[in-house]
Structure 1
Amino acid sequence: MSRWERVRLGDVCDFINGDRGKNYPTADEFIVEGIPFINAGHISNNAIDFSDMNYISEEKYNKLGSGKLINNDIVYCLRGSLGKHAIVSINSGAIASSLVIIRPNTAIISSKYLTYCMDSIQFIEQQKKANNGSSQPNLSAKSVKLFEVPLPLLDEQNHITDALDIAAKLLSLRKEQLAELDNLIKSTFHEMFGDPVRNEKEWLVEKLKGITTKIGSGATPKGGKESYHNEGICLIRSMNVHNGVFKYDQLAHLDDEQATQLDNVIVKANDILINITGASVARSCIVPTDVLPARVNQHVSIVRVKEEKGTSEYINKLFTTDSFQNFLLAIGGAGGATREAITKHQLQELDIPLPPLPLQNQFAEIVAKIEEQKVFVKKAIDETQQLFDSLMSEYFDE
């Protein structure tokens, strides 16, 4: 429980709207270099992303009647991406009309402490209640001024931000470590096998249909998602299949009768799953054994590799290389269809470079060792996330 007095933001911060008048910059007034003009799309992970920034001239900036930034201001999104926020570390800049500048009274509250407050459950709940948008989320600066935050003394605020900074940094390092392990698998594949589309190592090439015992997708049971169950036989959908990763969120379940109707798409250990329709087309992973028994719906295809021809680790990694992903996406978007799709025939006719099986097995062994390390890192990430969340709860929740 928060042990400090709670205050309204409007009592400890100034709020500055963007200029909405005739001097508001138009797209043709943006220039390559100049003064940053920040919109909601430039806020990412609580930071300002300058990689695709809009800039205005100093002359245009001087004409603005409002919405001018100074160092340590907080930009806060009022529309669309509701509640996105970031501290600015620039001496001059301006904001789009979808944002508001929150300028803390630094004699009372620090910008860094306030941004952590904005990430708390309590603050997010206030945002949800104040949202007055219908089709598009929408807040007013007037309503945000009424949001309350706990207000310890500045020394205590600094102690809180230091503790949260350490936990956040540790979490970031753990995630970087996980990414490095993924990159190690990627670089090992390219070192051993080269690019699968160019096939510069001149491996023997076979059609996918010639190296598999099954290529096929399933269906959605009658009644759609309303007919799913909380337990039973798993139904794997496209949202579960990501490149190299199986996501357990929203994993559906079927009863025995529903599953029997999909017995032609029983998933087996080491099967490769590939999305064949929709925005996630071409995403691919190996099914984890802990979801078996399972079936797939019509948006996911099973690819079952002949053991004497190849390994699932090799084929799945081939599918998820950048070059082969681009190739699959080009197939999926071809033909002028309104929705991306890869047909069974197109999968069957894919040209697959086939290195010698012992080399594929060697790669699979390397992947297995790296995956073991990833398990430990993921556990460390979960533990660090729990630490961060418990600190946030201790400092900010009632």
Structure 2
Amino acid sequence: MREDWEYKKLGDISSSLLIEKAKKRFSPNDVIRYIDISSIDNINQCLTGTTSFKMLDAPSRAQQKVEYGDILISTVRPNLRNIAIVNDDATNLVASSGFCVLRINDAALRRYIFYYVVSNKFTAYLEKLTNGANYPAVKETDVRKALIPIPPKPTQLSIVSELDKLNELIRIKKEQLKDYDTLAQSIFYEMFGDPVENEKGWEVKTFGEIGTLERGAGISKKDFVDDGLPCIHYGQLHTIFGAYTRKTITFIPKDLLPKYKIAYPGDLILAITSEDVEGSCKSTAWLGDYDVVVGSDAAIFHHNQNGIYLSYYTRTKAFYNEKAKYAKGFKVTHISTKEIASISICIPPISIQNTFANKIEQIEKQKAIIQKIIMDLETLLASRMQYWFD
């Protein structure tokens, strides 16, 4: 252990006795704002929203009254790091019993502890204590038994200041990415108008009238190899690729299937399986200079339009309204190629589509620069956290 540092249990830093029981604090008709695991953004480690209930109608797990500054640590699937500091000063916040709640009055120590509990070291500690196959979780008592290295106050302040600065730089760069996305959407509406109104009077056809759709063939993540046929899995449409891509990141064996479904340069690839309507038909234009194999939970649209224009069109309200008529499912949403073929789309002249695509590519070049900076900053943040906590 470092000189002048000491180990303390989380439970000694923040006792569970400090957390008031919701049913004792609120009457049945009081309106509470409920925080569950889905309220946490586990990428940015922040609280994104709450759900309002009368106390009598609230979920049975709505048990812990929390307040501004409390640290919430999900005890369910701790590997996902659903951890956040409450950033809302409302007096009617109630958290799920699925959280271990830490209340630390000292601001510097609170930030230091927050950084420690989102670190790889603390996550690895919780993972070793996780039990249950279908509902993997740790006990709150185990969380509070965790030994945390506590440096002297000046060192706490130094660590928190360093990590806060890195996180702020990352946040600023991510905001810049959002600004570029907003700019791209504004260019679309400036050039083509709102497709719902079609005030510019573009020709309207269905997807089936301007091209052909086919479903991809079976590919699962377990099929990926280091070298083989380039492929796109539907999950990558949701998590990795944007409006277009020129490179694939995965490969499958050449003899995996007797026949493959292929996307050719310029084709649009759409997800036909998703978690919800919003994710349905999440698309990317394939602009690489080689053919690519596409998996079965995605559709390939062969056409003679500009792929970038089509990809951005699938992000419009007009397209959403139409796909919402067809995308069905409870936990998993599906839409068929036949249903996509029946969706209407405005068709501006190809020259205007190409002009739009050129502008988008310039924006994407700037985004790529920022994304590289974010990756470098995140790598630096991870290394500094490892230095202090490992």
Which letter maps to 1:253? Answer: F
CA deviation string 1:305-339 (max 9, x = no partner):
21xxx311111111122331232132222xx8996
Q: Is the 8 A contact 2:83 2:118 kept in 1?
A: no
Q: Distance in 1 between matches of 2:256 and 2:140?
A: 51
Q: Which residue, out of 354, 362, 378, partners 2:371?
A: 378
Alpha-carbon spacing, 1:235–1:94, altered in 2? closer, same or farther (3 Å): closer
Q: Is the 8 A contact 1:241 1:247 kept in 2?
A: no
Q: Distance in 1 between matches of 2:133 and 2:303?
A: 49
1:198: Cα distance to partner? 3.1
Equivalent residue, structure 2, for 1:394: 387
Equivalent residue, structure 1, for 2:17: 16
- Which one scores higher on RCO, CA 8 angstroms, separation ≥ 6? 1
Q: Is the 8 A contact 2:266 2:286 kept in 1?
A: yes
Equivalent residue, structure 2, for 1:86: 84
Q: Distance in 2 between matches of 1:329 and 1:40?
A: 27
Q: Is the 8 A contact 2:286 2:307 kept in 1?
A: no
1:5: Cα distance to partner? 3.9
Q: Is the 8 A contact 1:9 1:148 kept in 2?
A: yes
Q: Is the 8 A contact 1:38 1:54 kept in 2?
A: no
**Segment of structure 1 superposing worse, 382-391 or 98-107:** 98-107
Q: Is the 8 A contact 2:22 2:65 kept in 1?
A: no
Q: Is the 8 A contact 1:36 1:56 kept in 2?
A: no
Equivalent residue, structure 1, for 2:149: 150
Q: Distance in 2 between matches of 1:247 and 1:102?
A: 43
Q: How many residues align?
A: 373
Q: Distance in 2 between matches of 1:37 and 1:332?
A: 29
CA deviation string 1:190-248 (max 9, x = no partner):
11112224322211123323333x42222116xx6555433211232210113735799
1:270: Cα distance to partner? 2.0
Equivalent residue, structure 2, for 1:300: 298
Q: Distance in 2 between matches of 1:227 and 1:378?
A: 29
Alpha-carbon spacing, 1:193–1:124, altered in 2? closer, same or farther (3 Å): same
1:175: Cα distance to partner? 0.7
Equivalent residue, structure 2, for 1:233: 229
Q: Distance in 2 between matches of 1:331 and 1:173?
A: 38
Partner of 2:188: helix, strand, or coil? helix
| 1:123-272 aligned within 5 A | 123-212=122-211, 214-220=212-218, 226-242=222-238, 244-245=242-243, 252-258=250-256, 261-262=259-260, 265-272=261-268
Q: Is the 8 A contact 2:265 2:291 kept in 1?
A: no
Pairwise CA RMSD of aligned residues? 3.5
1:77: Cα distance to partner? 2.9
Equivalent residue, structure 2, for 1:77: 74
Structure 2: which 5+ residue stretches go unaligned? 57-62
State the TM-score, normalizing by the size of structure 2: 0.82
Structure 1: which 5+ residue stretches go unaligned? 58-65
Q: Is the 8 A contact 1:16 1:67 kept in 2?
A: no
Q: Distance in 1 between matches of 2:354 and 2:263?
A: 22
Alpha-carbon spacing, 1:205–1:41, altered in 2? closer, same or farther (3 Å): closer
Partner of 1:298: helix, strand, or coil? coil
